[in-house]
DNA sequence: TTCATATTCAACCATTTGGTTAAATATAAA
DNA sequence: TTTATATTTAACCAAATGGTTGAATATGAA
């Protein structure tokens, strides 16, 4: 890490990896369901496992994927681990999506106003 | 497809698959960059390929992933294919994220107001 | 018709993913 | 100490992913 441009590159790449992890984590119904559960209240690993027909080892892996994406944080309390959402990562993904949504709808607005102009000229 | 509950299941699963595809499509930097390019204007396949050090066959596959997610539509014009964004799918993902963001921040509001109440009682 | 351009398809390959089972770890309860 | 509970780790496996190359397809230009 030598100069400002290295730092910039680090930031961009870091952000990119983050988005890769976040979107990847959310691309799975089981994990989205887990997010849904944690949105209501924090959950232990076994609570998270309960609705699914899956081994605890499998569940453990899913949680790890959510953690890698920074979507979930864990506090160890004795032998039980308590998982809770970290919405900062959710916002990061929303920001990305919202940006392109807006970008695109602006294009439509532009198109519409161009059509209006064209229509006016006709008369 | 026999009754209303079948239809409902179809809708939920369809929606679920959709989200799987959308989030999966966005979990890749190359594809996100392509979305970025198409947000500015529609692009041919070779235009989309230009910034990347990747075979056209590879690019073609990436576009297919975006199409499966309904993020991109293609109109064939002679021998060139023109790709443009379909923001409906982007919105679908944003909606999902926004919902859980909101859900969570509401929890914080609730917590805050409970703390307020508690504080009031102290006096 | 022949040649060039734009794109996809098919076959292949290494890596990642999403799951399993069996064993290990750490803590709590008897 | 022994036993039960909560969870992870390791090793494994089939399927999916992200890429390649080489051949096929379809259209446009000469």
- A to B CB pairs, distance under 8 Å: 84
At A83-123, the pLDDT tens digits run 999 988 999 999 999 888 876 666 555 555 555 555 555 55
DSSP secondary structure string for all residues of chain A: --SHHHHHHHHHHHHHHHHHHHHHHHTSHHHHHHHHHHHHS-EEHHHHHTTSSS-HHHHHHHHHHHHHTTSEEEEEETTEEEEEE-HHHHHHHHHHHHHHHHHHHHHHHHHHHHHHHHHHHH-
Give the HSE-up count for residue A88: Cα atoms under 13 Å, Cβ half-sphere. Answer: 8
Fold for B4-87, please state it.
Arc Repressor Mutant, subunit A (1.10.10)
- Per the CB < 8 Å rule, is A23 touching B20? no
The pLDDT, as a whole number, for residue B103 is 67
Q: Give the integer Cα–Cα distance in Å for B92 and B22.
A: 9
Higher local confidence (pLDDT), B9 or A25: A25
Residue A64 has pLDDT above 80, yes or no: yes
Give the right CATH number for A4-122 from 3.90.550.10, 3.40.250.10, 1.10.10.10, 3.40.50.300: 1.10.10.10
Return the residue matching tokens 């870091």.
A14
Q: Which chain D positions come under 7 Å from a protein C-beta?
A: 5-11, 17-23, 26-28
Contacts of A85 in chain B (CB under 8 A): 100, 104
Neighbours of B36 (CB within 10 A): 15
Nearest Cα neighbor of A64 from A30, A90, A41 is A30
Contact between B69 and B89 (Cβ < 8 Å): yes
Contact between B106 and B93 (Cβ < 8 Å): no
Q: Give the integer Cα–Cα distance in Å for A47 and A4.
A: 46
A 64-123, residues with C-beta < 7 Å of strand C = 65, 78-79
Which secondary structure element, helix H or strand E, spans residue B67, and what is its range? helix B56-68
Higher local confidence (pLDDT), B120 or A18: A18
Contact between A65 and A31 (Cβ < 8 Å): yes
Higher local confidence (pLDDT), A5 or B54: B54
B 21-40, residues with C-beta < 7 Å of strand D = 24, 27-28, 30
In 3-state terms, what secondary structure has residue B20?
A: helix
Mean pLDDT, consecutive 10-residue stretches, chain B (123 aa), reads 52 76 98 95 97 98 98 96 94 90 64 58 57
Neighbours of A24 (CB within 10 A): 18
Domain limits, chain B: 4-87
The pLDDT, as a whole number, for residue B54 is 98
Contacts of B26 in chain A (CB under 8 A): 19, 23, 96-97
User: Which tokens belong to A83?
Assistant: 């998982």
B79, with CB counted inside 10 A (0-12, 13-18, 19+), is: exposed
Which pLDDT band holds residue A38 (cuts at 50, 70, 90)?
Answer: very high
């Amino acid at each position: 890490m030598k100069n400002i441009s290295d730092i910039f590159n680090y930031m961009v790449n870091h952000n990119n990896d983050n988005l890769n992890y976040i979107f990847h984590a959310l691309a799975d119904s089981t994990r989205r369901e887990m997010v849904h559960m944690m949105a209501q209240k924090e959950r232990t690993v076994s609570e998270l496992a309960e609705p699914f027909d899956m081994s605890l080892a499998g569940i453990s892996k899913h949680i790890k994927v959510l953690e890698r994406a920074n979507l979930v944080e864990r506090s160890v309390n004795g032998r039980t681990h308590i998982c809770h959402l970290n919405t900062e990562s959710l916002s990061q993904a929303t920001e990305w999506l919202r940006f392109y949504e807006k970008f695109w709808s602006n294009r439509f607005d532009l198109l519409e106003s161009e059509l209006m102009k064209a229509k006016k000229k006709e008369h």
